[in-house]
Structure 1
Amino acid sequence: MKDHKKEQALVQFIVENKENFYRLAFSYVKNKDDALDIVQESIHKALLSLGSLKEEQKLKSWFYRIVVNKSLDFLRKHRRINVMDEATLEFYSNGNHDVYQDIDLERCLDDLPEKFRTVIVLRYFEDLKIEEIAEILKENQNTIKTRLYRGLSMLRIQMEHTKLVKER
Structure 2
Amino acid sequence: MGHISEQKYAQLMTDNRRRFYRIAYSYVKNEQDALDIVSESTYKGLKYLKSLKESAFFITWMTRIVINTAIDHERKNARLVIFGDYMMEPEEHGLTGFDEEVIFDLYDAIDILEPDEKTCIILKYFEEYTFREISEILNMPESTVKSKIYKCLRHMKNYMEGVKCHDKFR
After TM superposition, the score normalised by the length of structure 1 is: 0.88
Unaligned stretches of 5+ in structure 2?
Answer: none
Alpha-carbon distance in structure 1 between the residues aligned to 2:8 and 2:146? 30
| Structure 1 residues 10 and 131: CA distance shift in structure 2, 3 A | farther
Residue 134 of structure 1: how far off its partner (Å):
1.4
Q: Percent same amino acid at aligned positions?
A: 36
Residue 142 of structure 1: how far off its partner (Å):
1.6
Residue 133 of structure 1: how far off its partner (Å):
1.2
Alpha-carbon distance in structure 2 between the residues aligned to 1:64 and 1:84? 22
SS at match of 1:73: helix
SS at match of 2:89: helix
| Structure 1 residues 90 and 121: CA distance shift in structure 2, 3 A | same
Q: Which residue of structure 2 aligns with residue 113 of structure 1?
A: 114
Give the letter aligned to residue 38 of structure 1: I
Q: Which residue of structure 2 aligns with residue 42 of structure 1?
A: 41
Unaligned stretches of 5+ in structure 1?
Answer: none
CA RMSD, 1 decimal = 2.0
What pairs with 1:1-168 in structure 2 (closer than 5 Å)?
1-4=2-5, 7-85=6-84, 87-92=85-90, 97-98=96-97, 99-168=100-169
Deviations 1:125-150 (A, max 9, x none): 01111122112212222211111110
Alpha-carbon distance in structure 1 between the residues aligned to 2:25 and 2:4? 30
SS at match of 1:121: helix
Which is further off, 132-141 or 56-65?
A: 132-141
Residue 101 of structure 1: how far off its partner (Å):
1.1
Alpha-carbon distance in structure 1 between the residues aligned to 2:4 and 2:128? 29
Residue 80 of structure 1: how far off its partner (Å):
2.1
| Structure 1 residues 118 and 3: CA distance shift in structure 2, 3 A | closer
Give the letter aligned to residue 21 of structure 2: Y
